[in-house]
Structure 1
Amino acid sequence: MFKNIRSTVALLLFFAGVLNYLDRAALSVMAPLVKKDLHIDDAQMGILFSCFFIGYCLFCFLGGWGADRYGPRKVFGWAAVVWSLFCGATALAGSFFQLLIVRVLFGIGEGPMGTTTNKSISNWFPRREVGRAVGFSNAGQPLGAAVAAPIVGLIGLHFGWRVSFVAIAILGFVWLAFWLWLFRDKPEQHPRITAAERTLITAERPATRLTEKGAPSRVRLWRYVFSLPVLGVAAAFFCFNYIQFFFLSWLPSYLTDFQHLDIKSMSLIGILPWLGATIGFIGGGLVSDALYRRTGNFLQSRKLVIFCGLAVAALCVMLTAWASSVTMAVTLITLASVFAYMTPQACWSLLQDIVPAERIGTAGGFVHLLANLAGILSPGITGFLIQYGGGYASAFMLASVLALAGMLLLAVFVRQRSVNALRALA
């Protein structure tokens, strides 16, 4: 189908990201209609955005553990069934509390996505291609958020907001069929892979191994997940996620309520920040791989990308608090998205260099759990700031400060000496 099997793997993971962010962004796009239909205020809408991450965070960790134990093919398959079912079930909600329950269950289905994607990349890509693979695979996520605005917005306007969730659920089951048909947990298990490609991948997998023969390690998992380098990656990821979920949950409402756009205009203009984020994902992967080839230092190449990405994003988000026009606001938010989205793929590939292969799923799940606590906090805090605090300006200021905090924690916790000490455990 493509020039090699790992390209097919990357494409499957790319479309998984598109679907995951298409369906989770659908509620934010439809928020004006849902609030009117179900009589929900801004604070309640913030709670609905946040409650998705209650189930999501728990299954970030459990999904990563499952990917290590049972393989990403099974875990991602069952996750797709759950997220598609409860995305469709959103159309049946008739009250705030019914919608809240559906959102929690929906989050459970999507929880394994990030860690299972990282596990799949760890199994399928050589070290020299990790940045590009993570960048391309995860670029589907902001692209899904980008297409959510016109697709979900226009379906909602013409057929009602409930129909849009059913349509997205059907797409989830279509993706599942392709996943089960084309994907295997490791190159060694794929019936159509060439010997040359299998050798290329297995000779240069990104993560170190616990033992040469794969024997059980005497080093407990918690020595890795509670180490300073892993916690430093989690902190940077958390601060990026706060910005991401602020935009994902509240950007449509900001454009309609604060900048006074109608839903049709918002659906079109709202694409721009997510197209910028897609560029950031892919560009961050290319830049980090190029820096690695130039310097030979995997750790510093990833840290530099994260540091620069969060720095520029913090500045742009802060300036948005004083934006005086729609053009200025959207331009700043788009620039913030480009640079902010350079950081998550660097976090994922950095983690693969820190943690041994047999622990990457579970450790990645733990990092993803901590990082996605931002999904619980960001939408809810933003909703209360809008309704009871300083409005959108204070919400932008808080997101900017957290991005700066992520830079500081990364610099302090993720150092070559502490990473070398962690590797020595293996």
Structure 2
Amino acid sequence: MFRKYRWFIIFLLFLAGAFNYMDRVAFSVAAPFISKEFNLTPSQMGLLFSSFFLGYAIFNFIGGYLADRFGPRKVFGGALGLWSIFVGVTAVTYNFTSLYISRLFFGFAEGPVATTSNKMVNNWFPAKERASAIGIYTAGMPLGGAIAAPLVGLVSIQYGWRTAFIVLMILGLILTFFWMKLTKDYPKQHPKVSEAELKEILQGQDTVSDPSSAEKLSLWKTIKHPTILFTAVAFFAYNYNNFFFLTWFPSYLTDAKNLTVHDMSIVTIIPWLVGAIGLFFGGFISDYIYKKTKKLMFSRKVILVTGLFGSAICVGFVAIVETATAAVALMAIAVFFLYLTAMIYWAIIQDTVPSNNVGTAGGFVHLISNISGIIAPTVTGFLVQSTGSFSIAFYLAATLAILGALVVVFFVKPIKTAKEKKLSQISM
């Protein structure tokens, strides 16, 4: 299976996903140094964490639209190169305002990454392999976080936090070169794709829905459909918890549990590694359930509901444990459950939306979900500053995960085209 070229595309996306999270986690790990150097308050740090997501959320939708129009290869490559440059710009900031602006533009540049990645999967994979493919490449993200934690922490201690951002910029520009050289928008354009592989891909891409649905289901009808809207709500709950963990958990360990930056950099590897396992297997489990039950939406929903509920329970208990060991262990399990669901939101979009609208519809869902990235860090910062504790922030994150699971249970259903609705009425 993995000898086929489409899996090499996934390998490149895996590397890009790892680098994507290395860049994001870098700021969180370096936050104690940055906060001390610039004399920043918790609320100011919350605003800095959120500034990335303000730009990021806006360009989720724009990136998806551009991928539909110009192809995911160029849009992804451009985004990768630009965000690498803005990572480097972080190293020359000198106060709150310059940090805020650099993080804002860093978010703009990273905005297209998820929608263009999933557009590539939609172009290169048959429906039966999509959740697995998304699960593999998204597994690179927590691995990137695991690598970034000790790398940035130890480099910052030894050479200063600015050096870490320069190193990341260089790595990103190298990866951009290889992405542009080794990928194409469609498998039929790539000389290394065999006729047999191309036939396998093309035959498997129209197995879920009527190919004529692209003409009968408009973009507006797609994005306002309850399935798409409530998938976005569940994705919002997922990302709220994800970004709460990504931005504030390192500071929680140093401020509330009194770990040193060195120790924090080491122990935060654990949740990222456990999360990578969840990301890797979530898609395979969903595809396996689909093969056994032949119920596509059920195979997606069972993973979403189980993962969000499991994560909510663990996140809620983090608020009441006393030791750093218990907090890290519970958060690791929470991240595992949370990341089981990470690729399922995208799989639902690819399963239900006509292929020529996948980028734009996916960008819309990602936009809604990533508003949580603006809210979660800011709200957490103000809660910590006003209460002197992280407890309420953990309870809020857990509550949102439960709500996300509930809307999936009751409102996420297959989208029927006009033709399918007519046939259903006739059969009744």
Q: 1 CA distance for matches of 2:157 and 2:210?
A: 54
Distance 1:219 1:351, change over 3 A: closer
- Other-structure match for 1:420: 416
- Report the alpha carbon displacement of residue 412 of structure 1 after superposing the two structures with TM: 2.2
Contact 1:239 1:405 in 2 (8 A): yes
Q: Distance in 2 between matches of 1:55 and 1:210?
A: 36
Q: Give the aligned residue type for 1:276.
A: V
Partner in structure 2 of residue 230 of structure 1: 228
Which residue does the alignment assign to 1:250? 248
Alignment of structure 1 residues 70-81 onto 2, 5 Å: 70-81=70-81
Please tell me the root mean square deviation across aligned C-alpha atoms, in Å.
Answer: 1.7
Q: Distance in 1 between matches of 2:406 and 2:335?
A: 20
> What secondary structure sits across from 2:342 in the alignment?
helix
Partner in structure 1 of residue 326 of structure 2: 328
Q: Distance in 1 between matches of 2:205 and 2:108?
A: 30
Structure 2 counterpart SS, 1:136: helix
Would you say 1:271 and 2:261 are equivalent positions?
A: no
- Does the aligned pair in 1 maintain the 2:277–2:336 contact within 8 Å? yes
Unaligned runs of 5+ in 1: none
Residues 64 and 359 in structure 2, CA contact (< 8 A), matched pair in contact too: yes
Once the two structures are TM-superposed, the CA of residue 415 in structure 1 deviates from its matched residue by: 2.1
Pick the aligned partner of 1:385 from 379, 383, 390: 383
Q: How far off its partner does 1:262 sit? A: 0.5
Q: Secondary structure of 1:92's partner?
A: coil
C-alpha distance in 2, partners of 1:206/1:179? 28
**Counterpart in the other structure of 2:17:** 17
Give the corresponding residue for 1:59. Answer: 59
Match of 2:401 in 1: 403
- Which whole-Å CA distance do the structure 2 matches of 1:15 and 1:210 have between them? 34
| Structure 1 residues 67 and 209: CA distance shift in structure 2, 3 A | farther
Query: Which segments of 5 or more consecutive residues in structure 2 lack a partner in the other structure?
Result: 423-428
Per-residue Cα deviation, 1:290-319 (whole angstroms, up to 9, x for no partner): 111110011000000000000110000011
| CA distance 1:182–1:206, shift in 2 (3 Å) | farther
Structure 2 match to 1:133: 133
Which residue pairs with 2:91 in the alignment?
A: 91
3-state SS of the aligned residue for 1:324? coil
Give, as a single letter, the amino acid of the residue that structure 2 aligns with 1:243.
N
Deviation at 1:192, TM superposition (A): 1.2
Whether 2:32 is the aligned partner of 1:27: answer no
Structure 2 match to 1:49 = 49
Give per-residue Cα distances to partners, 1:220-242, cap 9 Å, x unaligned: 31110111000111111110000
Match of 1:170 in 2: 170
TM score, norm. by length of structure 2: 0.95
Q: Deviations over 1:264-288 (max 9, x none)?
A: 1111101001111101101111110
Alignment of 1:307-318 (within 5 A): 307-318=305-316
Distance between the aligned counterparts of 2:341 and 2:24, measured in 1? Answer: 21
User: CA 1:228 to 1:422, structure 2 compared with 1: closer, same or farther past 3 Å?
Assistant: farther
- The aligned counterpart of 1:286 is 284
For 2:46 and 2:284, the matched residues in 1 are separated by 35
SS at match of 2:343: helix
SS in structure 2 at match of 1:341: helix
User: Residues 207-222 of structure 1 correspond to what in structure 2 (within 5 A)?
Assistant: 212=212, 217=215, 219-222=217-220
Q: Which amino acid aligns with 1:148?
A: A
1:374 to 368, 372, 375: 372
| Aligned partners of 1:236 and 1:407 also within 8 Å | yes
The share of aligned pairs that are identical, in percent, is: 44
- Cα 1:124/1:150, change in 2 over 3 Å: same
Whole-angstrom CA distance in 2 between matches of 1:410 and 1:206: 25
Q: Do the aligned partners of 2:87 and 2:165 also contact (CA within 8 Å) in 1? A: yes
**For residues 424 and 180 of structure 1, what CA distance do their matches in structure 2 show?**
40
CA distance in 2, matches of 1:425, 1:195: 37
Measure, in 1, the Cα distance between the counterparts of 2:207 and 2:40. Answer: 47
SS at match of 1:323: coil
Give the whole-Å Cα distance in 2 for the aligned partners of 1:365 and 1:50: 19
- Answering whether residue 348 of structure 2 is matched by residue 350 of structure 1, we say yes
User: What is the number of equivalent residue pairs in this alignment?
Assistant: 421
CA contact (8 A) 2:72 2:116 kept: yes
Contact 2:211 2:354 in 1 (8 A): no
Instruction: Find the residue that maps to 2:185 and give its secondary structure.
Output: coil
Q: What is the TM-score with the length of structure 1 in the denominator?
A: 0.96
Tell whether the 8 Å contact from 2:216 to 2:417 is kept in structure 1 after alignment. Answer: no
Q: Please say if residues 210 and 358 of structure 1, whose CA atoms lie closer than 8 Å, have aligned partners that are also in contact.
A: no
Say whether the 8 Å CA contact 2:46–2:377 is kept in structure 1: yes
- CA contact 1:354–1:422 (8 Å) conserved in 2: no
Q: Distance in 1 between matches of 2:39 and 2:70?
A: 43
2-side partners of 1:77 and 1:229: how far apart? 31
- In 2: Cα distance, 1:72 partner to 1:35 partner: 37
Structure 2 letter corresponding to 1:53: F
User: 124-133 or 377-386: which moved more?
Assistant: 124-133
Distance 1:131 1:388, change over 3 A: same
